[in-house]
Structure 1
Amino acid sequence: MADSAVPQFFDRFPMQRIADVDLDANLGVDDNRIAILFLWGRDCPNCDIAKRSMLLTPERFEWPGVRWLHDNVYDDPRMGTRFGLHGIPAFFLFHRGRKLGRITAWPGTDAFVDAVNKQIAATGATV
């Protein structure tokens, strides 16, 4: 289903759609890349703010070797329950299948990019 407020987001910023039942198999336990899981919801104003910000400077969110995954938690409520969400958007960072941390709400482009860069540096992930 299309996201009505930012309809071409996933065309212009490609991410792999993932469901709760498939997440563990796609987190790359043997993979040295960072995986970022973007949990969002259709017609979520804060999610739309994050999407629009990402589309303004998409190159800032493109790290070589970083895999982006996404799920609409309104269509897949088990994902929201799994991560104990109290609000969206939420971003979870994983390395080798292990959760490194989360970024909740939208902190802005600079803070988001800085947080991801720190995790990449701390893990020695392939970039």
Structure 2
Amino acid sequence: MADTTVPEFFERFPMTRVVNADLDADLAVDDNRITILFLWGRDCPNCDIAKRQILLTSERFVWPEVRWLHDNVYDDPTMGTRFGLHGIPAFFLFHRGKKLGRITAWPGTQPFIDAVNKQIGLTGASA
């Protein structure tokens, strides 16, 4: 089902949609970039806050060392179970298929960017 609260989000900030059944194959892509998996839900107020803040300064959320995936866990509840979600939004960071960490709840623009930049520095990720 489509996102109706921030309907233009995925057109304005392109991310690849993924479902639980395909996630392992998507994470196995070894291009040395960090993968951010954005788990969200339709009509989730906190998810909408994150989406709106990302759109405000979308250029700050684009790194050559990062690729984005997303999944609506309301439509794909197995993904929520897989990651033991207790709330959304949740962002999981991976490098070469290995989970680096998670960002749960929206921490705000700068803390999010700082966390991603730290992981880029630690992994030496590049396109």
Q: Quickly name the TM-score band, shorter chain normalised.
A: over 0.9
Separation in structure 2 between the aligned mates of residue 15 and residue 31 of structure 1, nearest angstrom: 17
Aligned length in residues: 127
Cα distance per residue 1:50-102 (max 9 Å; x no partner): 00000000000000131100000000000000000000000000000000000
**RMSD (Å) for aligned C-alpha atoms:** 0.9
Structure 1, unmatched stretches of 5+, are none
Partner of 1:126: 126
Please say if residues 36 and 91 of structure 2, whose CA atoms lie closer than 8 Å, have aligned partners that are also in contact: yes
Identity %: 80
Calculate the TM-score normalised by the size of structure 2.
Answer: 0.97
Q: 1:24 Cα shift? A: 0.5
Please say if residues 29 and 95 of structure 1, whose CA atoms lie closer than 8 Å, have aligned partners that are also in contact: no
Calculate the TM-score normalised by the size of structure 1.
Answer: 0.97
Determine whether 1:21 maps to 2:12: no
SS in 1 for 2:86: coil
Partner of 1:39: 39
SS in 1 for 2:54: helix
Separation in structure 2 between the aligned mates of residue 93 and residue 63 of structure 1, nearest angstrom: 13
Partner of 2:2: 2
Partner of 2:71: 71
Please say if residues 36 and 66 of structure 1, whose CA atoms lie closer than 8 Å, have aligned partners that are also in contact: yes
Partner of 2:93: 93
SS in 2 for 1:118: helix
SS in 1 for 2:47: helix
Partner of 1:56: 56
